[in-house]
Structure 1
Amino acid sequence: MNLSFIASKPKYIFAKITKIWFFYIILSLVILFGFMSLLKYQIFLSKARVNDYQEKQAFYHTQIGKIDAYEERILLESELAKDRAVHNLMIRDAVVNLFNIIPDQITISYIEIGNDSLSMKGSTPSKEVFNFLLQDPLKAIFGKSSVTFFALSSGWYNFVSLSKSKTSIIESPKPKETQR
């Protein structure tokens, strides 16, 4: 039985426009959740990079500390080398000065130089030559000088001279801690 002049149309719970709106709402929610998960993943990667950079920073700080300690050690050793070079120059000058005061008539066969003493052995033509040409300058430098002569069959004399000083002849380099 047909009571209407129009053919019946199927009726839906949701209209076509409502279905389109639902589709776009669900699509926008999927896009939002996709962006949110992408941002969370990027945040996770950023935190991992930050942790990696912090580990590298700690490593570099330890390396910098080691390099600073090495640099300090190198500087200390270079200062020590400079002090020793100066000390060696002082010793060289002292030895050269000592050889300069030895006259040509006296022959030296043995010299031992200590911080506050000088020991020499050699030969001289006479006691007076030794006393006037070498003993007096040694007394002026050291303050205390003694000599022992031994006569040779040729008329010359062998001698052993010991000179001592109250102060050090050659100052040895001192570490920086004791100088302060």
Structure 2
Amino acid sequence: MSYSFIQPKIKPLLSIFTKIWLWAMLILTLLFIIGAMLLSVKIYLINSNSIELQEKYNETFQAIKNIEDKTKTTLIKRDMTLDIYNKNLILNQSLMNLFNLVPDGVTLTSIYLEDGSLKIKGITPTKDHFKLLFEAPLKSIFAISNTTFYQLPNGWYNFVSINKIDIAQMESLSDENR
């Protein structure tokens, strides 16, 4: 006997709403897992790229240090070259001044210039001519000035003049020129 007018239907295990929620949760879970994997791959790529960039940075930094070292060396060489150039200019001016000091009648045969000393050899008509016109300016420039004369058969004199400058005086002159 049956108490119902309709035929019983088999009840599904899961309702339609449960199936929708189940599929939605499954899709969301899969999307979350795929997103996590993509994020981990992206982090790995960023880390490997970061390591490469750090290596490039280190290489660039080392290249900059090398260029700075070369620049320092070049600046030192430039300063040394300028110093030599300035000393040569001063020496050239000093030699021109020395040649301008040589009076008429005095002939120079050789000049030896060393650090702090000047050796001049030449010929003069008389000792007095040399002492008056050439030795006096030399004594005003140099701290020590000694001259030796040798008479030639024609009456003129060979002379050797050795002049030395005081080292302290030379340092003060170089400081004034800077």
- TM over 0.5, yes or no? yes
Q: What residue is the counterpart of 1:161 in the other structure?
A: 161
Structure 2 residue ranges without an equivalent (≥5): none
Look up the SS of the partner of 1:54 in the other structure: helix
Q: What residue is the counterpart of 2:94 in the other structure?
A: 94
Q: 1:168 & 1:115 partners in 2: Cα distance?
A: 13
RMSD of aligned residue pairs (Cα, Å): 2.8
Amino acid at match of 1:105: G
**Kept after mapping to 2: 8 A contact 1:115/1:170:** no
The answer on 1:145 being equivalent to 2:154 is no
Look up the SS of the partner of 1:105 in the other structure: coil
Q: What residue is the counterpart of 2:118 in the other structure?
A: 118
Q: What residue is the counterpart of 1:25 in the other structure?
A: 25
Q: 2:41 & 2:135 partners in 1: Cα distance?
A: 95
Q: Normalized per residue, which structure has more helix?
A: 2
Q: What residue is the counterpart of 2:36 in the other structure?
A: 36
Q: What residue is the counterpart of 1:48 in the other structure?
A: 48
Amino acid at match of 1:138: L
- What pairs with 1:73-112 in structure 2 (closer than 5 Å)? 73-112=73-112
Kindly state the Cα deviation for residue 11 of structure 1 after the two structures are TM-superposed: 4.8
Once the two structures are superposed, residues 147-174 of structure 1 have per-residue CA deviations (whole angstroms, 9 ceiling, x without a partner) of 2222223332222121223336755979
Kindly state the Cα deviation for residue 112 of structure 1 after the two structures are TM-superposed: 0.7
**Kept after mapping to 2: 8 A contact 1:116/1:169:** no
Q: 1:173 & 1:161 partners in 2: Cα distance?
A: 24
Q: 1:173 & 1:128 partners in 2: Cα distance?
A: 33
Q: 1:143 & 1:26 partners in 2: Cα distance?
A: 106
Structure 1 residue ranges without an equivalent (≥5): 175-180
Which sits farther off after the overlay, 64-73 or 109-118?
Answer: 64-73
Look up the SS of the partner of 2:105 in the other structure: coil
Q: 1:37 & 1:15 partners in 2: Cα distance?
A: 33
Q: 1:168 & 1:97 partners in 2: Cα distance?
A: 22
How many pairs were matched up?
Answer: 173
Kindly state the Cα deviation for residue 24 of structure 1 after the two structures are TM-superposed: 2.6
**Kept after mapping to 2: 8 A contact 1:139/1:145:** yes
**Kept after mapping to 2: 8 A contact 1:124/1:156:** yes
Task: Give the % identical residues.
Answer: 33
**Kept after mapping to 2: 8 A contact 1:125/1:155:** yes
Amino acid at match of 1:97: N
